[in-house]
């Protein structure tokens, strides 16, 4: 046998061995993921972050932050992604004098059971309603959604207005009709999340949790473990992928469902809450990449280029508010907008300021 054939045979065997080791490793990490899911839920329960409430064939995680028995029943609803119960703690603490504060996690999120059902807006809202009823938390509620949950709350308050005492939207989604073309674009964009979902189910997130969840320097070791576990459980769920996949149709369904009513509503506008170019520039909201994208054809000094980028960005924001946000707010009815400039996670970035705005709003409606 020639030396070339020997080398070829050796390389072939080596490749097969490496493939075999990879398969064994992935099988091992997949089993680890299943084992970790169970142990993580036990840990969440020990830490007071897991209280399953049955809604029939699955359970939703309901976390109570406490508060006054005689006040409102404030229901926090999260956007896409895990870890919201930890992010919400400071705001929940600030609102305890206003009533009982809860976080209700939809299927697949933050310790709630996974489901095979399509996570349409109708399915999720009905799940929420059943969970609260089965937990003995009586309506009416103050819904407090963030991001994507603004869509869910908009549907809920329009379909069941008698159940809702008020809605406090924390920089939530601005619901607008989506064209068939944009619906397909949204479906295509979900492919990357499907890859992430597969990676999580293979247990890679359990082996390297720091790669897939925000690491908070002020968290204790246990708090970071809770946050990591919630992110991994959420991103590895079928429900998470289903929700992203049908988000566009859920947005259209919600837009069609929205009915102007007199339920008091508050929209805290953060990302679009800037009132001047100077205010936006002082907050340093644009990355270098964004500045480059906004000023591709602009010729001028670096200082002029940055100034131009902020002017363009502010104009686009004002156009968005005029053409999309205001019509959405008017369609909801009886909705007040309060600007609190900051990041999309304004409830975490400025919990005291958020709380003061919410308290002022609630004081006016009772």
Domain boundaries, the chain: 1-270+340-366, 271-337
CB contact set of 304 (below 8 Å; sequence gap of 6+): 298
CB 108, CB 240: distance < 8 Å: yes
- CA dist 286 and 290 (Å) reads 6
Euclidean distance between CA atoms 80 and 272, whole angstroms: 19
Length of the chain: 366
Q: What is the pLDDT at residue 70?
A: 87
SS3 (DSSP) at 157: helix
Q: Which residue's entry shows tokens 């407090």?
A: 144
The pLDDT value given to residue 1: 53
pTM higher than the cut 0.75: yes
In the chain, the DSSP E strands lie at 52-54, 59-67, 72-77, 99-104, 141-145, 164-170, 265-269, 335-339
Separation of CA 132 from chain center: 20
What pLDDT does 30 receive? 60
Contacts of 136 (CB under 8 A, 6+ apart): none
Quote the pLDDT of residue 343: 95
Q: State the residue for tokens 């807006």.
A: 121
pLDDT of residue 289: 92
Record: fold of 1-270+340-366: Rossmann fold (3.40.50)
pLDDT for the residue numbered 336: 96
User: Is 61 strand, coil or helix?
Assistant: strand
The strand pairing partners of 338, in sequence order, are 268
Angstrom CA distances, 253 to 125, 250, 333, 342, 365, stand at 12, 5, 18, 30, 29
Q: Which residue has the tokens 């002029």?
A: 304
3-state secondary structure of 165: strand
Q: Which two tokens stand for residue 338?
A: 């309060």
The per-residue pLDDT for 37 is: 75
pLDDT average per 10 residues of sequence, the chain (366 residues): 59 63 59 69 94 97 92 96 95 96 97 95 98 97 97 98 98 88 61 65 63 80 93 91 90 95 98 96 93 88 92 96 96 97 97 98 91
What six digits make up the tokens of 177? Answer: 């009709």
Q: How far apart are CA 214 and CA 54, in angstroms?
A: 30
> Which pLDDT does position 222 carry in this prediction?
94
Q: For residue 126, give every residue at least 6 positions away whose Cβ sits within 8 Å of its Cβ, in sequence order, or none.
A: none
What pLDDT was estimated at residue 187?
59
Structure tokens at 258: 């929205």
Task: Report angle CA 92, 95, 97 to the nearest 5 degrees.
Answer: 130
* DSSP, res 174: -
List of residues 6+ apart from 354 with CB closer than 8 A: 91, 94, 170, 268, 340, 346, 347
Helix axes 191-201, 180-189, angle to 10 degrees: 30
- Give the distance, in angstroms, between the CA of residue 214 and the centroid of all CA atoms in the same chain: 14
Q: How far is CA 268 from CA 94, 250, 320, 346, 352, in A?
A: 16, 22, 16, 9, 13
């Amino acid at each position: 046998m020639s030396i070339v054939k020997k080398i070829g045979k050796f390389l072939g065997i080596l490749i097969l061995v490496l493939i075999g080791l990879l398969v064994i490793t992935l099988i091992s990490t997949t089993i680890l993921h299943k084992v970790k899911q169970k142990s993580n839920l036990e840990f969440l329960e020990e830490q007071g972050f897991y209280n399953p409430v049955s809604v029939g064939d699955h359970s939703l995680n309901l976390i109570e932050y406490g508060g006054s028995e005689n006040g409102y029943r404030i229901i926090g609803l999260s956007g896409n992604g895990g870890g919201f119960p930890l992010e919400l703690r400071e705001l929940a603490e600030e609102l305890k004098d206003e009533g009982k504060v809860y976080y209700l996690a939809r299927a697949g999120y933050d310790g709630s059971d996974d489901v095979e059902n399509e996570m349409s807006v109708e399915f999720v809202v009905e799940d929420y309603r059943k969970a609260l009823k089965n937990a003995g938390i009586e309506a009416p509620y103050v819904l407090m959604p963030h991001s994507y949950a603004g869509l869910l709350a908009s549907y809920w308050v329009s379909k069941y207005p008698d159940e809702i005492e008020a809605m406090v939207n924390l920089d939530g989604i601005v619901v607008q009709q989506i064209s068939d073309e944009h619906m397909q674009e949204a479906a295509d964009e979900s492919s990357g999340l499907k890859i992430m979902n597969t990676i999580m189910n293979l247990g890679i997130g359990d082996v390297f949790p720091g790669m897939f969840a925000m690491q908070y320097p002020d968290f204790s070791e246990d708090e970071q473990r809770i946050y990591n576990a919630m992110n991994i459980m959420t991103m590895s769920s079928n429900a998470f992928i289903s929700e992203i996949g049908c988000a566009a149709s859920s947005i259209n369904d919600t837009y069609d469902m929205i009915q102007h009513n007199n339920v008091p509503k508050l929209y805290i506008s953060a990302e679009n809450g800037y009132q001047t170019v100077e205010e936006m520039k002082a907050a340093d909201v644009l990355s270098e990449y964004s500045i480059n994208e906004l000023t591709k054809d602009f010729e001028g000094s670096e200082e002029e280029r940055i100034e131009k980028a902020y002017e363009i960005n502010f104009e686009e924001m004002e156009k968005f508010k005029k053409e999309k946000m205001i019509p959405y707010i008017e369609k909801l009815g009886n909705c007040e907008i309060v600007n609190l400039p900051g990041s999309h996670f304004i409830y975490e970035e400025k919990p005291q300021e958020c709380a003061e705005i919410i308290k002022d709003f609630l004081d006016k409606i009772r």
